[in-house]
């Protein structure tokens, strides 16, 4: 029971619609989490991993149809269609509520309805916001307990008349009396709805149990609804990592980075620098809320409390800090299971054993033609288990941001790094970002390049043109010298024979070094039509033999003909955003074309 009347009324109303067998308020204790996990092991939904290898860890296998975000079933139900804009799916909110009410009537029959009070951001921080997720999935509860701050402390903070974002979630699979539950209940694709009501600030998700579709604090609240709040209130809710970089002299800089899903945020956030004396500490790996401090600078706070990280490709070599973060007290989803009760995935850093149970629960051997772990298999790990978590990652006021990186997966055209001429040009860089679509979304277009402004294409809760205008307006709200410097990076450029030109991962510290040099007004650079590029010798390659001068020159090439074609494609894409696309960004495009033709 809540003392907040609005909350209790809403919970009662949802319960009378969904008709659960029981209602349980989540208190946020370890005992409660353990009890839920034990019950899921007993019912066959979860497997407890070998305690000596992975203490306190559990493996879940999803339904093969429910493995990632479903952008095609994700809706921004604003009152007016034009407020959702050309990049979002829209349904009239009255219509959508009718559909969802009809689907949800009795949808929790045979199940327990959990009420999860959660805080995005440390409880009580001036930047934090409270949500209440109602769900019929115990898997969602235990994940939310890692990914957010949950329970009584949040209810207390909410008080009798505090504001909260209502978040309704159901797997959409009522249980008939006596029927046996499936190990991953969910609804078919055409019955799934990940719905957002931006005016009402409400979320209603039906039919999926996976990741961003179901852990509603993450993409639905902290990005889609928060982006709407941020625009109204003059701040930014972004798909960004946050890291703290310390140079050998002890100078500290904070860097945020917007890369699309499965394009390297977790890896950069936890980077182990290969250049001596430099240190990276993690503040966040997926979401940054940025607000102006009294100093006129943007301050970033990670609203989450855990990492929902991509498992495949994560190894002690590529990302030891992620491996150590998920060494204990972690939930694994869609990884493979060894005969010893441990997990395995492609790229974990050692060969697969002779026999595994794959992510679909089937026998697997190294001769199998299919992957053992799903490409979007993930670990849910507490952020405070990260060995390099920054001591001030929960600072209620956030950290001042010195640089913002944007970037995606591009085999050609985009150099390793370039710096914007100024704020508006930096927003232009964010607006033109393109990247190959990854397995983080269910799509038949995986691998194809799409434009993904600021890595927010699937997460902007309103019109993309208004969103880009908001970024421009943020730049007008303070002095230019107080704003973060903006850089466009591309770790994914390939040579003509298809090899990575840049080794990436820890070696990216060399690029970060140039970036902070540029922030301090140092660092060698040349002016090109697309922005400031490092000279061939500007990026510290001491001890890095695999990248020759020729490779570096190729990584830093600006091919005018390629860029002219790029500019044409950018114009088509800007035009497709319609009349709300800011004129300043067309002006940036005109200026780019003029420089290319000069
Ligand atoms: P979401 O959690 O989906 O938002 O993604 P993320 O941006 O945090 O992705 P993550 O860091 O987990 O990136 C995963 C993929 O990018 C893996 O396939 C990595 O191997 C690859 N990757 C990350 N950093 C680098 C890099 O510097 N170079 C190369 N070549 N690949 C990288
Ligand atoms: C992403 O797709 O960007 C993720 C994973 O971070 S999910 O939470 O499933 O959206
Ligand atoms: Mn993400």
Q: Which ligand approaches the C-alpha of residue 69 most closely? A: 2
Catalytic positions: 263
Residue 559's alpha-carbon distances to 427, 433, 530, 565, in angstroms, are 22, 17, 10, 10
Give the rounded distance of the alpha carbon of 496 from its chain centre: 31
pLDDT at 585 over 80: yes
> If pLDDT is split at 50, 70 and 90, which confidence band does 27 have?
very high
pLDDT in tens, 410-422: 999 999 999 999 9
Which is the closest atom of ligand 1 to the Cα of 259? 7
Class of CATH domain 238-304+393-597: alpha beta
- Average pLDDT, integer, range 31-56: 98
Convert the pLDDT of each residue in 210-227 to its tens digit.
Answer: 999 999 999 999 999 999
Query: Residue 261: CB within 6 Å of ligand 2?
Result: yes
For the chain, the average pLDDT equals 97
Q: For the beta carbon of residue 152, count every other beta carbon within 10 angstroms.
A: 13
**Three-state SS sequence of 394-463:** CCCCCEECCEEEEECCCCCCCCCEEECCCHHHHHHHHHHCEEECCCCECCCCCCCEEECHHHCCCCCCCC
Determine contact, residues 246/176, Cβ cutoff 8 Å: no
Residue nearest to atom 8 of ligand 2 (CA): 212
User: In angstroms, what is the span from residue 484 Cα to ligand 1's centroid?
Assistant: 24
Please state the rounded mean pLDDT for residues 502-522: 96
* Centroid of chain to Cα 229: 18
Nearest CA to ligand 1 atom 27: 504
CA neighbor of 465 nearest in space, from 571, 291, 583? 583
**What pLDDT score was predicted for residue 1?**
62
How many whole angstroms from 266 Cα to the centroid of ligand 1? 7
Q: Determine what percent of the chain is predicted with pLDDT higher than 90.
A: 98
SS3 242: strand
The neighbouring-strand residues paired with 337 are: 343, 357
Where are the chain's structural domains? 5-42+71-233, 238-304+393-597, 306-385
DSSP-derived secondary structure for 107-170: TTTTSEEEEEEEEESSTT-TT-EEEEEEES-HHHHHHHHHHSEESHHHHHHHTTT---EEEEEE
Q: Is the pLDDT of residue 306 over 70?
A: yes
- Give the pLDDT confidence of 431-457 residue by residue, as tens digits: 999 999 989 999 989 988 899 999 999
Q: Say which CATH topology domain 5-42+71-233 has.
A: Phosphoenolpyruvate Carboxykinase; domain 1 (3.40.449)
pLDDT of residue 2: 76
pLDDT in the model for residue 407: 97
C-beta 440 within 6 A of ligand 2: yes
| Angle at CA of residue 145, ends 303 and 271, nearest 5° | 50
Does the fold of domain 238-304+393-597 match that of domain 5-42+71-233? Answer: no
Domain 306-385: CATH superfamily, name plus number? Phosphoenolpyruvate Carboxykinase, domain 2 (2.170.8.10)
Judge contact between 363 and 355, C-beta under 8 A. Answer: yes
User: 266-281 b/e with 16+ CB inside 10 Å = b?
Assistant: bbbbbbbbbbeebbbb
């Amino acid at each position: 029971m809540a003392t907040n009347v609005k909350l209790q009324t809403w919970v009662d109303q949802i319960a009378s619609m969904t008709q659960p067998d029981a209602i349980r308020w989540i208190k946020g204790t370890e005992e409660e989490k353990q009890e839920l996990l034990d019950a899921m092991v007993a019912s066959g939904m979860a497997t407890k991993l070998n305690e000596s290898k992975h203490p306190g860890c559990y493996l879940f296998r999803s339904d093969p149809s429910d493995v990632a975000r479903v952008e095609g079933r994700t809706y921004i139900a604003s009152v007016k269609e034009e407020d959702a804009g050309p990049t979002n799916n829209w349904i009239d909110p009255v219509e959508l509520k009718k559909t969802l009410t009809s689907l949800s009537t009795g949808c929790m029959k045979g199940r327990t309805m959990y009420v999860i009070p959660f805080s995005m951001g440390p409880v009580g921080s001036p930047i934090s916001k409270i949500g209440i997720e109602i769900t019929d999935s115990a898997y969602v509860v235990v994940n939310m307990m890692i990914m957010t701050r949950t329970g009584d402390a949040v209810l207390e903070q909410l008080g009798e008349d505090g504001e909260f974002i209502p978040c309704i979630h159901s797997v959409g699979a009522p249980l008939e009396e006596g029927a046996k539950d499936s190990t991953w209940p969910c609804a078919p694709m055409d019955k799934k709805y990940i719905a957002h009501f931006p005016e009402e600030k409400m979320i209603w998700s039906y039919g999926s149990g996976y990741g961003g579709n179901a852990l509603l604090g993450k993409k639905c609240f902290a990005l889609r609804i928060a982006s709407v709040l941020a625009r109204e209130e003059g701040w930014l809710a972004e798909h960004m990592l946050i890291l703290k970089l310390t140079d050998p002299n002890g100078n500290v800089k904070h860097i945020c980075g917007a890369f699309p899903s499965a394009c390297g945020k977790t890896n950069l956030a936890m980077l182990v620098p290969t250049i001596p004396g430099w240190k990276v500490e993690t503040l966040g790996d997926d979401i940054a809320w940025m607000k102006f401090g009294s100093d006129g600078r943007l301050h970033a706070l990670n609203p989450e409390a855990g990492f929902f990280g991509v498992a495949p490709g994560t190894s002690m070599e590529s990302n030891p800090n992620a491996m150590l973060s998920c060494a204990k007290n972690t939930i694994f989803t869609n990884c493979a299971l060894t005969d010893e009760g441990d997990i395995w995935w492609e790229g974990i850093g050692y060969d697969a054993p002779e026999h595994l149970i794959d992510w679909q629960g089937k026998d697997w051997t190294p001769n199998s033609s299919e992957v053992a772990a799903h490409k979007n298999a993930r670990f849910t790990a507490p952020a405070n288990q990260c060995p390099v978590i920054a001591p001030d990652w929960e600072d209620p006021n956030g950290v001042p941001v010195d640089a913002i990186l944007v970037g995606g997966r591009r085999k050609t055209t985009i150099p390793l790094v370039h710096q914007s001429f100024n704020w508006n040009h930096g927003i232009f860089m964010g607006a033109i970002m393109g990247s190959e679509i990854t397995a983080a979304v269910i799509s038949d277009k995986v691998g194809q390049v799409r434009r993904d402004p600021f890595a927010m294409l699937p997460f902007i809760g309103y019109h993309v043109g208004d969103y880009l205008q908001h970024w421009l307006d943020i730049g007008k709200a303070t002095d230019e010298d107080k704003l973060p410097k903006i850089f466009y990076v591309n770790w994914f450029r390939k040579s003509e024979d298809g090899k990575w030109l840049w080794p990436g991962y820890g070696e990216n510290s060399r690029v970060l070094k140039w970036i902070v040099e540029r922030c301090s007004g140092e660092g060698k650079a040349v002016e090109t039509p697309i922005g400031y590029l490092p000279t061939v010798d500007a990026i510290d390659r001491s001890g890095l033999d695999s990248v020759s001068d020729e490779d570096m020159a190729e990584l830093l090439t600006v091919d005018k003909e390629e860029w002219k074609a790029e500019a044409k494609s950018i114009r088509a894409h800007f035009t497709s955003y319609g009349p709300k696309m800011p004129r300043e960004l067309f002006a940036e495009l005109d200026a780019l074309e003029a420089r290319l033709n000069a």
